[in-house]
Amino acid sequence: MAKQLRILFVVSEAVPYAKTGGLADVAGTLPFALQELGAEIKVIMPYYGQIKQKNIAMTCAAENLTAAAGPLSLEFNVLTPAAGDAPFYFIERDEFYERSQLYGTPRGDYYDNLERFAFLSDSVLATCRALAFKPDVIHCHDWQAALVPVYLRHRWVGEALLADTKSLLTIHNLAYQGLFPKEKFPFTGLPPSLFSINGLEYYDKINLLKGGIVFADAVSTVSRGYSKEIQTPEYGYGLDGVLRTRAEAIFGIVNGVDYGVWNPATDPLIAANYDAADLRGKAANKQALMEAYGLDKKLVKQPLLGIISRLADQKGFDLIAAVLPELMARDIPLVILGTGDEKYHLWLEEVGPKYAGKLGVKIAFDNRLAHLIEAGADMFLMPSRYEPCGLNQMYSMKYGTVPVVRATGGLMDTVEPVDAAKGTGTGFVFKEYSAAAFIKALNAAIDAYKDKKLWRKIMLNCMAEDFSWQASAKAYLTLYKRLAAGDI
Ligand code: ADP
C-alpha cells in the first residue's frame, strides 16, 4: 500500500471558526476532502477572540510550548476541538489573537501583524514536535503563513523532524503581501542577510509573501487563469518578476465548492428549497429577498441583481457605481451585501436611501443573508478588476443565479459565456474593464431574461455545473506527491 501522505496546513482563517473571505472556505473544506482521499491532515491556525466567543469545547493538545517572533520568545498552548475529528489545532496566545477582528479594523491593520504571524509561523516547529507529527508537505496559505517556507530553509535547518519536509505556498490574493517597515525585520527572527533583493526585501520594505515565493518548493494559485496573469506586470502587483523566476514551480488549482453548505436543495438558510427538477422555490426566495431589503413589490417581474462582496477596489465597485444610475432609471432592482473599505460604506450609505425601493443595501457580514441572495437573485454581479478564483460565481450557478462577470482569473476559468442562439453557456462575460463593456454584458443578460425559455436553459446549464472539492483535492494530492518525491 502506498504510504499515507502527511500534510500540515498553516493558515490564518478557516470556516466555521473565523472568516473574512474565500480563504476561510478553502481552509475549512479542503482538509476534509484530502482526508477522504486518504491523506493525514492537520491544520494550524490562531485561536482568535472570535473562536473563543463561539464557546466550542476544546481540549488542550499541548501546553507551555515556546515559539518566537524574533527576539520575543513566548509561550503558547495548542487547543483542538473536543468533539468530532476536526483536524484543527489552534495556537492560543491571547495577547496576539484575542482581538475583535482577525487582521485589523476598517481603519487599518493591527500594528503588530508581523509579530502575530511570525509567531504563528514559528509555532509550527514546536507544535509538530508536541504532536509527534512529521509532515511530508507544509501547505502554507497567503502572506500570514509565508514565513514558514523561509523558516524551513533558514531557521529550522538541522531539525530532524522537518528535514525532509517540503513546502507549498498558495497565493489566494497577490494584492495582500504582508508589507512591513524594514525596522521590524528582527521580528522575523531571520539573519539580516535575508533582507536583500534575493530574500524578503521589496522596495526597502519587508515583504513576507515575496519570501514565501522565493523559498517555497512550489507555489500555487487558486485558478489556472490567475496563475498565468500574476506573472504579467498588469496583475503582478510588483511581484511578477519574482514569480517569473519561479515559473516552472507555479501551479493553478481552482477552488471547489462545499455543496454540503451551498446547495438550494438542502440549504436550511433560505426561504424555500428547490433543485433543477423543480425550480418553483426560487420565486419564494426572490420574494423573501425583496422583503428582507424592503424593495418595491411591483418590481418582482424585473430581473433582481445581487452582489455579496468584500467592499474593496478589487471587486469593481467603480464599475457598479458607474452603471447604477442607468439600472435604477430602468427600474432594475439590485441588492448589495458587503463590508470593507470605509469609502464604500460611505458611498452605499449615500446611494441606498437615494434609490430606496429599488436598491437594497446592507453593510454587514451576514451569512444567512448571503445564502438568501444566492437563492433569491436572478443574476449575480462580479465585475472584478482581478479575481484569483472567486467563490460566489460558483455558488450562484448552483442556485440557478446567472453570473455576470468580468473575464479575469478564476471567473474566466469557471463561467462559460452564453451563446443565446445555441442556448449554451453559464453566464454573461465582458473583457475590457470599463462601464461600457459591463453595461453591454448586463444588457445581454437582461434581454436573455425576457426570453423565459432561454433563461430557464441558462439556469439549468448553471445548476448542472459541478465544482465540487473532489477534483481540486485530487489535483492538490498529485502536487503534494510530486513535492514529496522531490519531483519539483
Ligand atoms: P474573496 O475571497 O475575494 O472575498 P470570494 O468570492 O472568493 O471572494 O469569497 C467570498 C466569500 O465570502 C464567499 O463565501 C462569500 O459568500 C463570503 N462573503 C463575502 N462578503 C460577505 C458578507 N458581507 N456577508 C456574508 N458573506 C460574505
In testing the pocket of ligand 1, which one of 310, 335, 401 has its CB within 8 Å of the most ligand atoms?
310
Ligand 1 atom nearest to 315, measured from its CA: 3
Using alpha carbons, list the distances in angstroms from residue 132 to 45, 61, 62, 127, 361.
Answer: 18, 11, 11, 8, 50
Confidence (pLDDT) at 85: 80
Q: How many angstroms is it from 307 CA to the middle of ligand 1?
A: 10
* CA pair distance 177, 335, nearest whole angstrom: 31
Per-residue pLDDT in tens (0 to 9) along the chain, 488 residues = 567 999 999 999 999 999 998 899 999 999 999 999 999 999 999 999 999 999 999 999 999 999 999 999 999 999 999 998 889 999 999 999 999 999 999 789 999 999 999 999 999 999 999 999 999 999 999 999 999 999 999 999 999 999 999 999 999 999 999 999 999 999 999 999 999 999 999 999 999 999 999 999 999 999 999 999 999 999 999 999 999 999 999 999 999 998 999 999 999 999 999 999 999 999 999 999 999 999 999 999 999 999 999 999 999 999 999 999 999 999 999 999 999 999 999 999 999 999 999 999 999 999 999 999 999 999 999 999 999 999 999 999 999 999 999 999 999 999 999 999 999 999 999 999 999 999 999 999 999 999 999 999 999 999 999 999 999 999 999 999 999 999 99
> 23 C-alpha vs ligand 1 centroid, how far in Å?
9
Q: In what order do the strands lie in the sheet with 58-69?
A: 58-69, 72-81, 88-92, 40-46, 6-10, 137-141, 166-171, 218-221, 250-252
Give residue ranges with CB within 6 A of ligand 1: 21-22, 25, 308-310, 337-339, 365-367, 370, 389-392
Q: What pLDDT, on a 0 to 100 scale, did the predictor assign at position 291?
A: 98
Q: Is 410 exposed, middle or buried (0-12, 13-18, 19+ CB in 10 A)?
A: buried
Q: Which residue has the cell 517555497?
A: 216
pTM for the structure as a whole:
0.90
Residue nearest to atom 18 of ligand 1 (CA): 309
201 DSSP β-pair partners:
206
**What does the alpha-carbon distance between residue 19 and residue 383 come to, in Å, rounded to a whole number?**
23
Q: Are 77 and 98 in contact (CB under 8 A)?
A: no
Q: How many angstroms separate the CA atoms of 297 and 324, rounded?
A: 20
Distance 313 CA to ligand 1 centre (A): 14
Please tell me whether the peptide bond between 16 and the residue prior to it is cis, using omega within 30 degrees of 0: yes
Q: How many residues make up the chain in this entry?
A: 488
CA distance linking residue 168 with residue 430, whole number of Å:
33
Q: Please give the distance, rounded to the nearest whole angstrom, from the Cα atom of residue 133 to the centre of ligand 1.
A: 33
| CB of 174 closer than 8 Å to CB of 239 | yes
- Taking the centre of ligand 1 as the mean of its atom positions, its distance from the CA of residue 372, in whole angstroms, is 14
Element (H, E) at 45: strand 40-46
C-alpha cell recorded at residue 330: 430602468
Is the separation of the CB atoms in 418 and 448 below 8 Å?
yes
Residue 351 burial by Cβ neighbours in a 10 Å radius (0-12, 13-18, 19+): middle
Half-sphere exposure of 486 (CA within 13 A, CB side): 2
Q: How far is CA 423 from CA 106, 304, 455, in A?
A: 44, 21, 9
Measured in angstroms, how far is the CA atom of residue 310 from the centroid of ligand 1?
6
CA-closest candidate to residue 305, choices 215, 385, 406, 373 = 373
Task: Return the amino acid letter for 14.
Answer: A
What are the backbone angles phi and psi of residue 178, rounded to the nearest 5°?
Answer: 70, 70
> Which residue's CA is the nearest one to ligand 1's atom 9?
22
Ligand 1 pocket test, candidate residues 25, 267, 345, most atoms within 8 A of CB: 25
Which atom from ligand 1 is nearest to the alpha carbon of 364? 23
For atom 14 of ligand 1, which residue has the closest CA?
Answer: 22
Tell me the CA–centroid distance for residue 119 and ligand 1, in Å: 27
Query: What is the 455 CA–ligand 1 centroid distance (Å)?
Result: 26
For residue 189, count CB atoms less than 10 angstroms from its CB and return exposed for 0-12, middle for 13-18, buried for 19 or more: buried
Q: Which atom of ligand 1 is nearest to the CA of 25?
A: 14
**How many angstroms separate the alpha carbon of residue 101 from the centre of ligand 1?**
16
Query: Measured from the CA of 410, which atom of ligand 1 is nearest?
Result: 7
Which residue matches cell numbers 430581473? Answer: 303
Domains of the chain with CATH codes: 6-256+469-484 (3.40.50.2000), 281-464 (3.40.50.2000)
CA of 21 to the centre of ligand 1 (A): 5
Other Cβ atoms less than 10 A from the Cβ of 315: the count is 24
Which atom belonging to ligand 1 lies closest to the Cα atom of 367?
A: 25
CA distance 464 to 135: 37
* Substitution candidate for ligand 1 out of 341, 392, 414 with most atoms within 8 A of CB: 392
